Structure 1
């Protein structure tokens, strides 16, 4: 039996990349990869990372874990119950800030330990923080008085990744980042060109590969070739990210790993199947009766829309609105949270269904709705009914005036998708950390629920297994989910890279 490949995971977040690689098995059922060290500075994300590191110490998760996430009792004291496994997890998942000298010294010692244990069989993974590269982040930075990109350390944290490459000399590395990295620059210097050069010349030298472009082995990838469109690989989300794979030059000649594209998209409604229906909450004076009255008022207002309806299928829209009214009482009694869970959709591809599922799971966590203002609930009902009828989410000019928010830029087109429904018969839009703010970009496709997505639903769209619990408060959980790499995509990457290690 081959030893697991030893992974050092930088800028780990809640562990999306690490989960995908850790879930990859060899044909004999043994674990193909094992995380030696993971590092994350955010405390809530680190707690999630630590919990998952603890659970990976078991062939089968402890029964106390399943009953806890099903809501049957408070979180156990894992250190007291399983001291050896908890200690191992604490040694693996570290809460530290990369770029600091003390972290660098500590990590250098761990790198030496990993090399002594694994020799050639090491892998470096991670995604340096993307706020400075993303289009949204650059827009925010432009509004900051006296902001100077050259003084923003986030532009250059990838160099910490390169520093580890120079020390570890892994057989392979995987770096993930946002598409905005391709167009980001500092004082005229194109960031991506510098990143590529630094990665190629790190350590003994690396050949950089695209996992998605149809290139010959001798072709040098263009910047756009490193962009992976997650929806093409079984992820129910139009998430387009830069993923660079590097193979050490002394072993690179015989390998051209490629991800296998899926023939069909995975739809939002199929991904959310099995999670119980919930009503939204009201931001003030919330109870099922007040909610019932608020939704009745909203449907009556929406029912006045006839000539002003901007779509092509007003009959379908009106039928959806009637369905909301009929199911109103049942929805109001559904409650705002639930740990119940039914089987995942049979329409999912078997590999994805198996990745999400856990036969021992009898309840899920993080499935609780937010409170909304009654005016927003009306917009949610309208938008989701519109999406059911027209198969697309309405833009601002497609909202009737009686539902228009009091925003100065509502009609300017600057924020024309301020309220965005995740259309049930298509992949979701990109799940980002912005979901932690107000949920307007992530409206549930079922108009009878008239709400934004829960953390659990967002995690489903990110392909986290249903037994994956996120620590922290709800805002922190949303941020973790939005910032993560989809684990199912990471699992596929792990599979196509495994032959490299098996042939070392």
Structure 2
């Protein structure tokens, strides 16, 4: 593979907090500058855009050269205003490349002018990103299926803005990402994926501007060869856990190469993925917080100890074990595990240390535990013990009756028909399940495997499973931080995709 020291521009649409752009920008040619640099990243969410701007600022200084004020800011030692005052020129540049714009007809002309100005006469560059996922997702469709407005939801068609930008700027290569649910979604009886593939192949026709010969060949990142219409679109599915990512995240990635360019991309190389324990096991241990009660280490210990006095603690679940035996074996309620916002006990993962690590990072951000109600503490405690004993996360039918939540769908869940995995433990010795934006609502699907911590995952733990480096800082309140992490493309997977895109650009004749 021939590699030059050129840094190629990227235009990143629907950028979120920047996971896809981070992977591209993290690709370096030895000691040379990054192989890619973001000239335009567009995101309309206020907090994700703030995160994106801060990361653009961080990257402007080059690998390993971010100023001390950056680390002081993310650790809470100085304000954003003080950070900007220390480096006003770099901050202005970051604001110029990370744009808070809602993509749509109302802003199309302005976006076109911005991209034209930034690209200039550049011929070798890449367009990356994908439209919002909610309307395509299986969960989104199940929630909205009863709504008469669902068929006309504009989120079905935001990919048309992506198409228009392809038509306007004719990128030599693009990467479009979306959710697995796209494969089974349909609008007015037509499979969404088939329409999108046709449109991406002939984008000018798709947006009603005729067909002047602009066309793209489409490729998968997991199967070799050009995609032909009529073939199974499931070939575009990338299972992240097959490529070294510590998470079973299944997403669609479509690579398009302009038809006049006679280059075909390689595919991702498979490798074993690290486990949840290998990635987050070394992080400082935390007790969960306590909500609707006094939140203190002493009160938390009292609640955990009180489990031994409850009926469900003493009863058998009907299996070949007793709850009390599990509790006594794995839980040490006398442990003092304080909940803390920052930790100077910075711990590296067992693997991928050069990817996650930063020797200049003295405080670990976003590693503070959520607060949980007493009854949920009991459920998390039981679920983590169960997973540690049997190597699987319990379903509702495995829970003692007295631990079942008072919820209208619980009976259905216990019967195994649906919602039976309402409480899901992330198993220590396997990759995690998909980190989704739902983690922003509650921690039931993201219970820590260690029973003695009795909590859901922190933002930093979720970010590590999404392969964000530890010096990546997420702006906004914690709910928004979770939301950003859950919606992002795993940054390390993006790095692997960037290698393939760089190779394509390198092989294009000038």
Q: TM-score if structure 1 supplies the norm length?
A: 0.92
CA shift digits 1:339-358 (9 cap, x unpaired): 33434233x2xxx3321111
Aligned residue for 1:304, secondary structure, equals helix
Counterpart of 1:384? 384
Counterpart of 2:281? 273
Equivalent of 2:246 in 231, 236, 241: 236
Counterpart of 1:499? 503
Residue 85 of structure 1: CA displacement?
0.3
Counterpart of 1:199? 200
Counterpart of 1:136? 139
Question: 2-side partners of 1:217 and 1:95: how far apart?
Answer: 35
- Summarize the Cα distance change of 1:297–1:456 in structure 2 as closer, same or farther, 3 Å threshold: same
Counterpart of 1:5? 8
Aligned residue for 1:56, secondary structure, equals helix
Question: 1-side partners of 2:308 and 2:146: how far apart?
Answer: 39
Counterpart of 2:235? 225
Question: 2-side partners of 1:403 and 1:148: how far apart?
Answer: 37
Kindly indicate whether the alpha-carbon contact (under 8 Å) linking 1:217 and 1:256 is maintained by their aligned counterparts in 2: no
Aligned residue for 2:410, secondary structure, equals coil
Residue 318 of structure 1: CA displacement?
5.8
- Summarize the Cα distance change of 1:409–1:369 in structure 2 as closer, same or farther, 3 Å threshold: same
CA shift digits 1:139-195 (9 cap, x unpaired): 111233x3241x211000000000000111111100000011111111112211111
1:186 aligns with 2:187: yes
CA shift digits 1:324-343 (9 cap, x unpaired): 543x23334x2343333434
Counterpart of 2:55? 52
Residue 305 of structure 1: CA displacement?
4.3
Aligned residue for 1:451, secondary structure, equals coil
Question: 1-side partners of 2:83 and 2:189: how far apart?
Answer: 51
Kindly indicate whether the alpha-carbon contact (under 8 Å) linking 1:239 and 1:431 is maintained by their aligned counterparts in 2: yes
Question: 2-side partners of 1:323 and 1:73: how far apart?
Answer: 45
- Summarize the Cα distance change of 1:37–1:148 in structure 2 as closer, same or farther, 3 Å threshold: same
- Summarize the Cα distance change of 1:2–1:72 in structure 2 as closer, same or farther, 3 Å threshold: same
Equivalent of 1:443 in 447, 460, 467: 447
Runs of at least 5 residues in structure 2 that lack an aligned partner in the other structure: 205-213
Residue 257 of structure 1: CA displacement?
1.3
CA RMSD of aligned residues (A): 1.9
Counterpart of 1:66? 71
Equivalent of 2:108 in 100, 104, 108: 104
Counterpart of 1:412? 412
Kindly indicate whether the alpha-carbon contact (under 8 Å) linking 2:16 and 2:484 is maintained by their aligned counterparts in 1: yes
Question: 1-side partners of 2:340 and 2:400: how far apart?
Answer: 29
Residue 303 of structure 1: CA displacement?
7.2
Aligned residue for 1:243, secondary structure, equals strand
Question: 2-side partners of 1:302 and 1:77: how far apart?
Answer: 56
Aligned residue for 2:217, secondary structure, equals strand
Kindly indicate whether the alpha-carbon contact (under 8 Å) linking 2:219 and 2:225 is maintained by their aligned counterparts in 1: no
Kindly indicate whether the alpha-carbon contact (under 8 Å) linking 2:163 and 2:203 is maintained by their aligned counterparts in 1: yes
Question: 2-side partners of 1:369 and 1:491: how far apart?
Answer: 30
Counterpart of 1:402? 402
- Summarize the Cα distance change of 1:302–1:377 in structure 2 as closer, same or farther, 3 Å threshold: farther
1:38 aligns with 2:41: yes
Question: 2-side partners of 1:305 and 1:453: how far apart?
Answer: 28
- Summarize the Cα distance change of 1:73–1:303 in structure 2 as closer, same or farther, 3 Å threshold: farther
Counterpart of 2:355? 355
Question: 2-side partners of 1:231 and 1:457: how far apart?
Answer: 17
Aligned residue for 1:259, secondary structure, equals coil
Q: TM-score if structure 2 supplies the norm length?
A: 0.91
1:308 aligns with 2:312: no
Kindly indicate whether the alpha-carbon contact (under 8 Å) linking 2:219 and 2:227 is maintained by their aligned counterparts in 1: no
Question: 2-side partners of 1:48 and 1:302: how far apart?
Answer: 47
Kindly indicate whether the alpha-carbon contact (under 8 Å) linking 2:5 and 2:32 is maintained by their aligned counterparts in 1: no
Question: 2-side partners of 1:84 and 1:74: how far apart?
Answer: 17
Residues 134-143 or 463-472, more deviating: 134-143
Kindly indicate whether the alpha-carbon contact (under 8 Å) linking 2:49 and 2:100 is maintained by their aligned counterparts in 1: yes
Question: 2-side partners of 1:209 and 1:57: how far apart?
Answer: 32
Counterpart of 1:161? 162
Residue 320 of structure 1: CA displacement?
5.1
- Summarize the Cα distance change of 1:75–1:32 in structure 2 as closer, same or farther, 3 Å threshold: same
Kindly indicate whether the alpha-carbon contact (under 8 Å) linking 1:46 and 1:94 is maintained by their aligned counterparts in 2: yes
Question: 2-side partners of 1:179 and 1:447: how far apart?
Answer: 32
1:249 aligns with 2:259: yes
Aligned residue for 1:257, secondary structure, equals coil
Equivalent of 1:147 in 146, 149, 159: 149
Aligned residue for 1:405, secondary structure, equals coil
1:77 aligns with 2:78: no
Kindly indicate whether the alpha-carbon contact (under 8 Å) linking 2:218 and 2:226 is maintained by their aligned counterparts in 1: no
Counterpart of 2:208? none
Equivalent of 2:267 in 240, 258, 262: 258
Residue 467 of structure 1: CA displacement?
0.3
